[in-house]
């Protein structure tokens, strides 16, 4: 841990290192490679992010052979409830043919899969893209395991209400499968093959089929990154609070600097922004009643563990909150507060402000501005070119228009369409892509 000799105002020395890694301080080479590789897509004659479709790290290696163990009846992997974060997540609501989300379902016409389609509507062929990819992978595994045998789907997307209220079949995120020969002695191994194929939850549910499901498209790491819901509150310099969906670029909101002091830092970008999109969030509730809502891949300072992905924070962990005793003070004290509850919820509207400090105080709880890569210092350094560019741009604008000129505010709001940005910031997209190639897998959110 990095120790400071002096206690800063309102924050103990142990707080000072909350956003620093104890044993994973990035080397200059790591940072150089991360920033250098950021520009590879630009230099590749327009190939851009198409490179992301490559095999990735270790793509050319031959996987080692290992013995697969069949699942036993009523066993599920992982060993948690289906509607939890480590598994497939919560239900996001039924999808009907008239729902806008229906267009997200894709048909599966894989000739190596037999679809029962007892309804005669083709509904069993409809599923999310993630579910389709895992199912096609499983089909190949089945043919390799048992030559001449195919994968058989008995139930896919359900529009007739045959399942439980929160069933993922209603969203095209679940399938029930057997083998084409209906040999029940194979079903334990079939379940294991489904786990190996990448399904997020596999359940040897019945003697007659295996149940498999996947996470929602909105909860995928690449798409969601790290965000807060629009209703979350931040504090401004005058001591008032403001909803995140009302925050504009250039505003100064509460953050925590490298010394552990609460400061007011300028919002220089939104790493992600979508007004109407619904996503799954983790809601952390502390002993004092503070509630922080953010996406699972978002980083949060945790006592004794530096920064941790929100999805891995457990009851009993302690996170940094604003001391409730200083409600009327502009300079706030921070303290560790124990998490008493962690659960998945569904929220609408996503916002990920990037401050100059790389941190933000949301709903009076300290959080990072970053996600996906579990190293606050490394990611903050990787964003250095963007922060420098943003600072130079702001300086030039103010020198030309005048710091106190009313025209500056108007031009800033008109020109900076980033405040109306939808989706992930281009620089963040590049870094997400680069991280899959140059960052150790144990540091990347899975």
Any known ligand binding at 119?
A: yes
Cis peptide before 218 (omega within 30 of 0): no
In sequence order, which residues have a C-beta less than 8 Å from that of residue 431 and are 6 or more positions away? 34, 38, 379, 382, 383
Q: Is the pLDDT of residue 420 over 60?
A: yes
Q: Is the pLDDT of residue 48 over 80?
A: no
In a domain, 140, yes or no: yes
Compute the average pLDDT of residues 27-46.
49
* Structural contact between residues 198 and 134, judged by C-beta atoms closer than 8 angstroms: yes
Mean pLDDT of the chain: 82
- Cα-based distances in Å from 421 to 58, 195, 245, 383: 35, 38, 12, 19
Q: Are residues 320 and 437 in the same domain?
A: yes
152 in the same domain as 278: no
pLDDT tens string 83-98: 998 899 999 999 999 9
Same domain, 351 and 271: yes
Q: Is residue 351 part of a domain?
A: yes
Residue range 249-267: mean pLDDT, rounded: 93
Q: Is the pLDDT of residue 44 over 80?
A: no
- Local confidence band at 383 (pLDDT 50, 70, 90 cut-offs): very high
Residue 30 lies in a domain: no
Is 179 inside a domain boundary?
yes
147 with 283, same domain: the answer is no
Q: Is 155 annotated as a binding residue?
A: yes
pLDDT category at 432 given cuts 50, 70, 90 is confident
Residues across the chain: 446
Q: When comparing pLDDT for 192 and 420, which is higher?
A: 192
List the single range of 33-37, 131-135, 164-168, 199-203 with lowest mean pLDDT: 33-37
Percent of the chain residues past pLDDT 90, beyond the cut: 55
Instruction: Give domain status of residue 259, yes or no.
Output: yes
Q: Is 169 annotated as a binding residue?
A: yes
Whether residue 210 is found in the same domain as residue 229:
no
In contact, 302 and 318? CB cutoff 8 Å: yes
251 is in an annotated binding site: no
Q: How confident is the model at residue 236 (pLDDT cuts 50, 70, 90)?
A: very high
Does 127 reside within a domain? yes
Summarize pLDDT for 170-190 with one digit per residue, the tens: 999 999 999 999 999 999 999
**207, 232: one domain:** no
Please report, for residues 122, 177, 184, the alpha-carbon distance to residue 180 in angstroms, rounded to integers and kept in the order given: 18, 9, 11
Least confident of 71-75, 178-182, 435-439: 435-439
85 lies in a domain? no
| CATH number of the domain encompassing residue 229 | 2.170.16.10
Contact 270, 248 (CB under 8 A): no
Report d(CA 244, CA 234) in Å as an integer.
Answer: 7
* Tally of structural domains, the chain: 2
Helical H segments across 53-172, by residue range: 129-145
Q: Does 82 count as an annotated binding residue?
A: no
Q: Read off the pLDDT of each residue in 153-181 and give the average, rounded to a whole number.
A: 94
Burial zone of 113 (CB within 10 Å; 0-12 exposed, 13-18 middle, 19+ buried): buried
Do 209 and 132 belong together in one domain? yes
Residue 440 pLDDT > 90: no
Least confident of 129-133, 281-285, 419-423: 419-423
pLDDT for position 324: 67
347 is in an annotated binding site: no
The answer to whether residues 97 and 203 belong to one domain is yes
Same-domain pairing of 256 and 377: yes
Kindly indicate the confidence band of residue 445, based on its pLDDT and cuts at 50, 70 and 90.
confident
Tens digits of residue pLDDT in 388-419: 998 888 778 777 665 544 433 444 444 444 44
Radius of gyration of the chain (CA): 24
- Element holding 32 (H helix, E strand): helix 28-38
Q: Is 422 exposed, middle or buried (0-12, 13-18, 19+ CB in 10 A)?
A: exposed
With CA atoms as reference, report the closest residue to 174 among 208, 134, 147: 134
The mean per-residue pLDDT over the stretch 187-196 comes to 97
The reply to whether 207 and 231 lie within a common domain is no
Neighbours of 391 (CB within 10 A): 13
- The reply to whether 104 sits in an annotated binding site is no
Domain that holds residue 176: 93-215
Residue 341 has pLDDT above 90, yes or no: yes
- 47 or 182: which carries more pLDDT confidence? 182
Q: State which of 215, 248, 268 marks the end of a domain.
A: 215
- In DSSP terms, 213 is beta-bridged to 174, 201
Reply yes or no on whether the pLDDT at 345 is more than 70.
Answer: yes
Single residue among 215, 244, 260 that ends a domain in this structure: 215
Specify the pLDDT at position 278. Answer: 81
Instruction: Identify the band that residue 114 occupies on the pLDDT scale cut at 50, 70 and 90.
Output: very high
Query: Are 120 and 195 members of one domain?
Result: yes
Which residues lie closer than 8 Å to 256 by C-beta, 6 or more apart? 18, 19, 262, 263, 320, 334, 357, 359, 361, 366
Q: How far is CA 17 from CA 21, 261, 302, 316, 376, in A?
A: 8, 11, 10, 20, 11
What is the per-residue pLDDT for 255?
95
Residue 171 lies inside a defined structural domain of this protein: yes
pLDDT at residue 156, as a whole number: 94
Does 211 carry a binding-site annotation?
yes
Is residue 46 predicted with pLDDT exceeding 60? no
Is the pLDDT at 50 greater than 80? The verdict is no
pLDDT at 32 over 70: no
Return the pLDDT at 412. Answer: 45
Single residue among 186, 215, 244 that ends a domain in this structure: 215
Are both 228 and 183 inside the same structural domain?
no
Q: What CATH number corresponds to the domain at position 189?
A: 3.30.1380.10
Q: Is 257 annotated as a binding residue?
A: no
- DSSP sequence for 241-287: EEEGGG--TT-EEEEE-TTS-EEEEEEEEEEEEEEEEEEEEEEEEET
Q: What is the pLDDT of residues 274-302, one digit of tens each?
A: 888 888 899 999 999 999 999 999 999 99
pLDDT value at residue 326: 56
| Res. 35 pLDDT band, cuts 50 70 90 | low
């Amino acid at each position: 841990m990095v120790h400071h000799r002096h206690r800063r105002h309102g924050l103990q020395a142990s707080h000072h290192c909350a956003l620093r890694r104890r044993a994973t301080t990035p080397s200059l080479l790591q940072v150089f490679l991360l920033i250098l590789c950021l520009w590879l897509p630009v230099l590749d004659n327009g190939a851009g992010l198409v490179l992301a479709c490559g095999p990735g790290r270790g793509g050319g290696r031959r996987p080692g052979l290992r013995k697969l163990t069949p699942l036993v009846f009523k066993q599920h992997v992982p060993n948690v409830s289906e509607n939890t974060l480590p598994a497939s997540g919560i239900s996001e609501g039924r999808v009907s043919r008239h729902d806008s989300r229906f267009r997200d379902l894709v048909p599966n016409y894989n000739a190596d899969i037999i679809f029962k389609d007892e309804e005669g509507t083709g509904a069993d062929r409809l599923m999310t893209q993630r579910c389709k990819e895992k199912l096609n992978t499983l089909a190949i595994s089945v043919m390799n395991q048992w030559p001449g045998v195919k994968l058989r789907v008995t139930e896919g997307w359900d529009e007739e209400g045959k399942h439980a209220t929160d069933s993922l079949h209603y969203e095209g995120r679940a399938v029930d499968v057997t083998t084409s020969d209906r040999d029940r002695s194979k079903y334990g191994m079939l379940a294991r093959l489904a786990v190996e194929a990448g399904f997020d939850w596999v359940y040897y549910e019945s003697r007659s089929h295996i149940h498999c499901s996947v996470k929602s498209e909105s909860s995928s790491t690449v798409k969601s990154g790290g965000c807060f819901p629009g209703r979350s509150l931040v504090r401004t310099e005058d001591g008032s609070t403001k909803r995140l969906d009302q925050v504009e670029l250039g505003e100064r909101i509460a953050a925590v600097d490298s010394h552990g002091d609460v400061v007011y830092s300028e919002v220089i970008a939104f790493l992600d922004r979508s007004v109407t999109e619904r996503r799954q969030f983790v809601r952390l509730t502390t002993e004092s009643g503070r509630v922080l809502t953010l996406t699972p891949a978002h980083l949060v300072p945790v006592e004794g563990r530096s920064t941790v992905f929100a999805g891995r924070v457990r009851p009993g962990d302690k996170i940094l909150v604003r001391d409730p005793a200083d409600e009327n003070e502009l300079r706030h004290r921070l303290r560790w507060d124990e998490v008493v509850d962690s659960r998945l919820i569904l929220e609408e509207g996503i916002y990920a402000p990037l401050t100059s400090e790389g941190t933000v105080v949301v709903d009076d709880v300290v959080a990072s501005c970053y996600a996906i890569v579990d190293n606050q210092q490394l990611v903050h350094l990787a964003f250095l070119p963007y922060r420098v560019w943003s600072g130079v741009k702001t300086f030039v604008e103010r020198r030309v228009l005048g710091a106190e000129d009313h025209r500056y505010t108007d031009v800033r709001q008109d020109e900076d369409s980033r405040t109306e940005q939808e989706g992930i910031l281009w620089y963040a997209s590049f870094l997400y892509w680069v991280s899959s190639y140059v960052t150790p897998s144990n540091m990347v959110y899975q």
